[in-house]
Amino acid sequence: MAYDFEKMRREEWPVLEKMTFLDAACVSFAPQRAVRAVKAFADMTATQEEANSSAHHIAMDSLRHKAYEEAAKLLNADPEEIALVESTSHGLNIAAQGIPLEDGDNIITTNLEFIQVALPWCVMRKEKDIEIRVCKTPDERFAAKDFAALCDDRTRIIVMSTLEWCNGWQTDLKELGDFCKERGIYLVVDAVQQLGVTKIDTKACHIDILTAGGHKWLNSPYGTGVLYVNRETLPKLRQSYAGYLNTAVPEGGWGAYWENPAAPSTNDWDFPMTARRFEIGGTSNYTGAIALGESLALVNEIGIENIEARVRQIATYCMDRIEEIGGYVVTHRDPGHFGGIVIARLYDDLDTDRMILKKLHAQNIFIAQRFTDYVGGFRISCQYFNNEKDIDTMIEAMKKLIQEIGRKPDYKAN
């Protein structure tokens, strides 16, 4: 049975009736089910229905469990491979601190990454003699062979986005993961522009570490995201933090431990070999975890295959309509290699495109403009809550602005 996306849009995102929102790749809106869960938690923090404060604290912590379960389901991961982090940046820093590197080692990234992707390793160069190699291709498409050309026996990590933020290219993770596993190279991916949009199956493709904030395509702008660590990779990584909630739960639970007169202040604590050992391990962002759990559950309820088909249908329609008015589509249409991000240009004069962006915003039509290494343009986010009417509204506004400018779009790729 086909999923009723229009009904879901009306029920979960009434804000979309007030604007044309095509910018989920920046920060999205929470669905109403997440808002209700956050409000319920706020009420919970103002009272105590449990037997005591310790039980109240433990009850709040238990509300995070849904996020773990739904993330594992979405990624087809084992429960012990999932942790919650503050953001993509948090997860990437865990990877940088966890993977051992020695002087003379190198890592590979691409020329199209958001600055955070390689940033922790850029900083590491101040203390360690490591090299960062940048993969750049003539057509801004990446395949395993492009990374292989830069690899040698000192290559330790490939770190990149699964879907590039400034051109919308989705890399074949199966191909790249197989290459990395064969060569003994850690594959670390920023999935913030893909998770919840198109399918990522951690059983079907090898990934060592994946991280994604919840505030974009997962529609959970509350400061909590997902960290996946491959169970085979777990023992190879250094632990980033040491928090008591990451240790093995003592006999009788924490409530009983805190009331034990003999409880020591120091110990040789045992940290179970799960991804949660990389969390900070203290009182956490319960609000973010609760909201993320609801948003992930919505993705799983709809079905990632249904979402993928919907998003690619809208993105294709968007690309067709951009070209119809004379625009240039930067995003490649290769089957299986694009998701919800459509990048396009209208005019070779960037100031003209910037003026168009400003005037669209003034009409409550929200898209963005993003670039890295001279690649980019208008970034139009085609989320599963969007529809063809949203695209039509944007295109009609662009057509009127083109008429006002008085000349046809003239951008051509170099």
- What are the pLDDT digits (tens) for 85-95? 999 999 999 99
Q: How far apart are CA 408 and CA 195, in angstroms?
A: 37
Neighbours of 288 (CB within 10 A): 25
- What are the pLDDT digits (tens) for 270-299? 999 999 999 999 999 999 999 999 999 999
Q: How far apart are CA 269 and CA 181, in angstroms?
A: 32
SS (H, E, C) 84-131: EECCHHHHHHHHHHHCCCCCCCEEEEECCCCCCCCHHHHHHCCCCCCE
Pairing of strands 155-161, 186-190: parallel
- What are the pLDDT digits (tens) for 351-366? 999 999 999 999 999 9
Q: In this model, does residue 1 exceed pLDDT 70? A: no
Over range 199-226, report the average pLDDT.
98
The chain-wide mean pLDDT, for the chain, equals 97
In the structure, what pLDDT confidence band is assigned to residue 413 with cuts at 50, 70 and 90?
A: confident
- What are the pLDDT digits (tens) for 239-252? 989 999 999 999 99
Over range 176-183, report the average pLDDT.
98
